[in-house]
Amino acid sequence: MSQRSGLAQWQQYPPWARGSARIVKDEVVLDEARAETYHMRGTDALMFDLAALAADWNKRDTRDVLTFVRRHGLLWHGEQDLGTGACRESLSEWWGESRTMAFLMQLSAELRESVRTGSGRLIRTMIEDYPEMFGLEEQEARILAYTLDDQVLINTASVLLAKVVTSKLEGTSMGLVSSAPQELAPGGPETFLLSQNPPNLLAAAYVQFSQAVVYRAPIEECPGCGRRFIPKSGKQKYCTKTCASTSRWRRWDERKTNN
């Protein structure tokens, strides 16, 4: 169970499969015989791990995909597919899904900053850099980016964000769960939980992302490794303590070399 802004939620993520995998031509293939089943957890790691795979399009590495499968599993094929030979997915589609998640995280961050400043400059840049994500041709994107006023651009970005996330949540069911049989405290027959049940790993990642957007969680970019993360406090600058230590050592080494 999780609770944000006073709203109790029961995350009924389905059992899934994860384990060793290999790349065969343009497919990610899970080793079904050696895979383990587990219950997904509603942590932010899933959505950030997915976004990180192709956040830098020119530095994609299939080894990162295999690490993801060992940690989380395939995006669409889970426990119910073990033993069928169907646990294989298009690598091209994986890159596309990762790029979309990374784009939406950046758009969410830029949208927040645009609303704060009242300026559409960041949204204009995103339209020019990612015209296909806005359903535009390059020339059309350049024209719109510099003819629409700031508020229209900001509103357009907001609508696009909601539309794409909604499409990725297809098949996710919502419901109401009584806390009485869950033995939760506080709980009882008069306490109910809002349940969320995504059909696959990709939808689970978007459940997490949609919650972050709804509750306005600050999605920041780590200055050390470039990975997106949600700070646990306003003082957290790096995604992990390890990344912070590595960045400090790197700065020290650079100063030592320059001197």
Mean pLDDT of 194-210: 90
- 21-30, 161-170, 193-202, 229-238: which range is least confident on average? 229-238
pLDDT above 90 covers a percentage of the chain that reads: 58
pTM of the model: 0.85
Per-residue pLDDT reduced to its tens digit, 32-44 = 999 999 987 756 7
The neighbour count for residue 238, using CB atoms within 10 Å, is 20
Could you tell me the pLDDT band of residue 218, with boundaries at 50, 70 and 90? confident
Per-residue pLDDT reduced to its tens digit, 159-172 = 999 999 999 999 99
Q: Measure the CA–CA gap between 41 and 209, rounded to whole angstroms.
A: 14
pLDDT value of position 3:
47
Helix (H, G, I), strand (E, B) or coil at 188: coil
Q: What is the DSSP string of 205-235?
A: HHHHHHHHHHTT---EE-TTT--EE--SSTT
Mean pLDDT of 73-80: 96
Mean pLDDT of 189-217: 87
pLDDT at 92 over 60: yes
Could you tell me the pLDDT band of residue 1, with boundaries at 50, 70 and 90? very low
CA 220 to chain centre: 12
Domain boundaries, the chain: 2-105+159-217
pLDDT above 70 covers a percentage of the chain that reads: 87
Q: Measure the CA–CA gap between 228 and 55, rounded to whole angstroms.
A: 9
